[in-house]
Amino acid sequence: MSHETDSAAASGTPAPAGRGAFPEASFGAVPHRFDYCPWLFFGSATAEERAAQAAWQRRLTERLAHQGGTVELAAETYVSPLAGVFTDRLRMGERSYIAAHAYVTDEVTMDRDCTVNPFAVVRGRVTLGKAVRIGAHSSLLGFNHSAAPDRPVHKQPIVSQGIEIGEDVWIGSHVVILDGVTIGAHCVVGAGAVVTKDLPAWSVVAGNPARRLRDRRDTPSRDRVATAPGREAEPAAGRAAATGRPGSLEARLERFAARAAEQAGEVLGRCRTEVPGQGPAYLDRPGAARTVRADCDAVEIAALLLGGPPPGIPAADLVARLRGLQDEKSGLIPEYGAGRPTLEDGEAMYHILCVHYALKLLGSGFPHPVRAVHELTPQELTRLLEGLPWEREAWRSGHWVDGIGTGVLVNLQDFGLRAASADTLFGWLLTHADPWHGLWGKPQPADRWLQPVNGFYRLTRGTFAQFGLPVPYPERVVDTVLTHSRDAAFFGAGRGNACNVLDVIHPLWLCAKQTGHRVAEGRDWARGQLERLLAHWRDGEGFAFALTPGVGHRHEAGLQGTEMWLAIGWLLADHLGIADALPYRPAGIHRPAPARLGL
């Protein structure tokens, strides 16, 4: 087709009458090859065709601005006049394009070299990193309806967590990506996949729901289909990873998850009690003292295994109870029966996490900001950080930072309050990480790397992981954590409790998002721990904090051990690339995805 004669606008022909705000300002009523092959525009468009496209982009910008929207288009971009672009905010980097019949709405940000091919749908709050290629007929749906039973679906409010896609991601044709999903850098999503969960960097996935087939770095890529030079290729559809072979680790994971879900009501019911004058509540284990954490652990276990609130207590009553615990003045949450909490109270600092996420899982949140954290000045925070016992008790120091980081997040996410000390927190941490071993604190003669590794996990959970920021010195962290993982005092035969294992797998899993350094060794360790975990579920009781037999409450099955090992199991499986064998994904304290601030 001759591009000199198939464009009404390019030849000076006026737009057809009656189109109102939608004149064909570029290539007219007759489709141009650039509408369906936009990648050709950047290398072969004539000066006249470029001028026509620029005119169309001006009209598009004016129309969206008139409707209250904003548009930022880099100089070298292409938007087909045949695309339905009705955004509140649109940003496109250089050499990005939107092809014919694509439907793009709401808030869409595209870095350079991003492509939205014909008939694709990009809606809601969607952010694309550099070089994200979206195949034809695919849908990125960064919004959803609520589904409460009190009204028809069409009257439900719209909710949006958004979709975030890292750089160098290849999305095949007819893919569907649902709201709330984060896709790491360098992923390949096979044609026809339905992506419902976050994908770690370098994943190759396919299927409905999408399953991880392998790490893109493990073997030479065979996904690219041979095409003519310059033409957009599509990733091969591939086959979804089948249910694991009988006896395989994947098959055993599936059987374990089914068994745990079937027994979840019994596990929770075993720990439910009646509090005089207050109604039902949860204990960590029968006969234990009542704690705030036990109620929160019950919420997390029910969310993981039952997909809803814990049975036996009306969700509204549980929400009212947890919200009512918050001290209005400080925003901290004391233990049941304790006095006014302070930043020196270790339980209150942990409650910032566990109560916040329990309320989120129940569809609610704190009634008040965490003022004790928000009101810290940079000078006060620096003094407190400097005063923590980093060398002797890196665990306790990291625990405190965990609470502070979560308080900063809660205030920003739920109340729009940005603390003056937030930059101080991250600046101090970045400048005090040891470049030789990557951690904070120092090893001690008695327990060697235990304290610094535990402190690293707790500290990064509430800061770098929660805010989606890279950790400093990830390769050194991996070296140190793997050294600790071979310490027989903690991981020898009959050793290793939930904290010990979590201290290792979370840093390895987190650092693998930044580096492939010694990842095979980490996976070998993770496989051994997962095999061990699967052998220690106790029917009708769940997990004990310490898996091996022994005397004392740590060897008794309870809510804390069950919640932690369920989350640990997911992290171990995800590090091995087989988390899709589990029907659950942590969404509380041990959630793998960073928070979505929406600011």
Predicted pLDDT of residue 208: 86
Residue 26 has a pLDDT of 40
Is 70 exceeded by the pLDDT of residue 17? no
pLDDT of residue 245: 57
Backbone phi, then psi, for 126, in 5-degree steps? -130, 130
Q: Is the pLDDT of residue 172 over 80?
A: yes
Domains of the chain in sequence order: 33-215 (2.160.10.10), 249-581 (1.50.10)
What does the alpha-carbon distance between residue 370 and residue 353 come to, in Å, rounded to a whole number? 11
For residue 357, the model assigns a pLDDT of 94
Q: Mean pLDDT score of the chain, rounded to an integer?
A: 85
pLDDT of 532-567, one tens digit each? 999 899 999 999 998 877 788 888 989 999 999 999
pLDDT level of residue 117 (50, 70, 90 thresholds)? very high
Quick: pLDDT tens for 398-431.
999 999 999 999 999 889 898 888 899 999 999 9
With a cut of 50, say whether residue 227 has pLDDT above it.
no
Give the least confident one: 16-25, 68-77, 526-535, 581-590: 16-25
Question: Is the model's pTM score more than 0.85?
Answer: no
Cα 76 to the center of its chain, rounded Å:
32
pLDDT above 60: residue 253? yes
21 against 523, higher pLDDT = 523
Q: What is residue 147's predicted lDDT score, i.e. its pLDDT?
A: 66
**Does position 105 have pLDDT exceeding 90, yes or no?**
yes
Vertex 339 angle, CA 333 and 340, to 5°: 55
pLDDT at residue 551, rounded to an integer = 80
Rounded distance between C-alpha atoms, residue 583 and residue 599, angstroms = 31
Q: Up-side HSE of residue 138: CA atoms within 13 Å toward CB? A: 30
Which residues are part of the catalytic machinery? Answer: 145
Report the distance separating Cα 566 and Cα 573, nearest Å.
11
Q: How confident is the model at residue 144 (pLDDT cuts 50, 70, 90)?
A: confident
The pLDDT of residue 223 is above 50: no
Could you report the per-residue pLDDT of 70-86, keeping only the tens digit for each? 999 998 999 999 999 99
pLDDT score recorded for residue 18: 34
**What pLDDT sits at residue 220?**
41
- Facing residues of 115 across strands? 97, 133
Does the pLDDT at position 183 exceed 50? yes
Q: Which of 165, 24, 173, 27 is nearest to 108 (CA)?
A: 165
Answer for the pair 355, 325: CB distance below 8 angstroms, yes or no: yes
Residue 25 has pLDDT above 80, yes or no: no
